[in-house]
Amino acid sequence: MSDMKIDKKNYASAQEVKWCSGCGDYSVLKQAQLALADLGLRNEEVVFVSGIGCSSRFPYYMNTYGYHTMHGRAMAIATGVRTQNPELSVWVATGDGDALSIGGNHFVHAAKRNMNMVVILMDNRIYGLTKGQVSPTSDKGVITKTTPYGSIDNPLDPVKLALGAGATFVSRSTGKNQKLLRELLVKAHQHKGFSLVHILQNCLIFNDNVFDRYTDKENAEHSLILEDGKPMIFGSEMDKGIVLDGMTPKVVNVADVDPADILVHDATNEDSILPSMLSSLPLDKFPMPMGVIRQVEGECYGESMRDQQEQVTSKLGSGDLQQLLRGNNTWTVA
């Protein structure tokens, strides 16, 4: 354990951390530093890119290369880093407003290209840095400074969006579940491709307790921790399960059904039917799926770009500048 501590410190920069004390981001930072230690990454090969928002201060606290960029554009900039140098370990630290509202287009495209990067999405369902406005993931009806009579907007689910865009690694954890979070960050990095770690992160200043339902021990009724190849069982007593009644999922008491009828998680299936179903369950009746929701293989854009460049070069030979300047069609004036 003491070794681990040194390793974690190895990834902490000298900059003083300036989140509100008690902010859920602290836990994410700690788990990310632990995950880097678990992965044994060299400081200089790691790049953290972020946008704007509370969570986007993340890179300043990491003893790695880091770039705190513009609101919404972290994934576009990380795409440039990754395509320029596919050897680097690229991480994006972002929030719900940054990734899903102003940066939604880049999120969708980074996912569909299967850009090989880990996206740590710290979702507190509120605009924290601007002091408390409704965000794209806020629940309908929520009262914030810009929705004094209740939000009339529908929330967007980043897991569903990522699945729809073809993301090859989609996962979720609460900020509080440190063990799961660390494990997911490690797995996300080990996965080759676009890896989303959606984190339900508490903002105690502007949206406190919004995730209590998923974090309180007594409320394990509302979280389903998925494990590949294992039946979908949840509840404080692990007494509830999910079955399919025809095409319709249902919550049952495990004791009431044949154990073989309980749905078994399969994150690695080529199609995304099961992950899509899991991410579409109405949360008033079903638990929130956590863990690795989908993990499939796919070609990564940055690597494909490099491979294509190598193929063309081996076919045509390394370009000669003088030949390029001449082109194919010259004439001589005597």
Given the rule CB under 6 A, which residues bind ligand SF4? Answer: 19-20, 23, 25, 54, 124, 128, 203-206
Q: Tell me the torsion sign for CA atoms 204, 205, 209, 214.
A: negative
- The Cα–Cα gap between 86 and 304 comes to 10
Nearer of residues 127 and 214 to ligand SF4, judged by Cβ: 127
- Provide the mask over 314-333, with x wherever binding to another protein is found by CB under 8 A and - wherever it is not: -xxxxx-xx-xxxx-xxxxx
Nearer of residues 107 and 234 to another protein, judged by Cβ: 107
Contact of residue 133 among ligand SF4, another protein, none (CB under 5-8 Å per partner type) = none
- Token pair of 4, please? 């681990």
How many alpha carbons fall within 13 Å on the CB side of residue 181?
25
Nearer of residues 269 and 311 to another protein, judged by Cβ: 311
Nearer of residues 84 and 269 to another protein, judged by Cβ: 84
- Provide the mask over 108-127, with x wherever binding to another protein is found by CB under 8 A and - wherever it is not: xx------------------
3-state secondary structure at position 47 = strand
How many alpha carbons fall within 13 Å on the CB side of residue 164?
12
Nearer of residues 52 and 293 to another protein, judged by Cβ: 52
**Among 105, 71, 66, which Cα is nearest to 88's?**
66
3-state secondary structure at position 302 = helix
- The Cα–Cα gap between 61 and 55 comes to 11
Minimum CB distance to ligand SF4, residue 203 (Å): 3
Minimum CB distance to ligand SF4, residue 214 (Å): 17
What angle do the packed helices 178-190 and 25-39 form, to 10 degrees?
50
Contact of residue 68 among another protein, ligand SF4, none (CB under 5-8 Å per partner type) = another protein
Q: Which of 37, 47, 163, 290 binds another protein (CB under 8 A)?
A: 47
Considering the rule CB under 8 A, would residue 54 count as an interface residue with another protein? no
Considering the rule CB under 8 A, would residue 299 count as an interface residue with another protein? no
Considering the rule CB under 8 A, would residue 9 count as an interface residue with another protein? no
| Residue type at 89 in one-letter notation | S
HEC per residue, 106-156: HHHHHHHCCCCEEEEEEECCEECCCCCEECCCCCCCCCECCECCCCCCCCC
Minimum CB distance to another protein, residue 327 (Å): 5
- Provide the mask over 135-174, with x wherever binding to another protein is found by CB under 8 A and - wherever it is not: ----------------------------------------
Rounded to the nearest 10 degrees, how much is the dihedral formed by the CA atoms of 243, 247, 250, 253?
-30
Residue carrying the six token digits 């899903």: 100
- The Cα–Cα gap between 83 and 79 comes to 6
Nearer of residues 162 and 203 to ligand SF4, judged by Cβ: 203
Minimum CB distance to ligand SF4, residue 57 (Å): 8
Nearer of residues 88 and 197 to ligand SF4, judged by Cβ: 197
3-state secondary structure at position 71 = coil
- The Cα–Cα gap between 276 and 318 comes to 46
- Provide the mask over 58-97, with x wherever binding to another protein is found by CB under 8 A and - wherever it is not: -xx-xxxxxxxxx--x--xxxxxxxxxx-xx---------
| Partners of 171 in the β-ladder | 197, 292
Residues found near another protein in the complex (CB under 8 A) = 13-15, 42-47, 49-50, 52, 59-60, 62-70, 73, 76-85, 87-88, 105-106, 108-109, 305, 308-309, 312-313, 315-319, 321-322, 324-327, 329-334
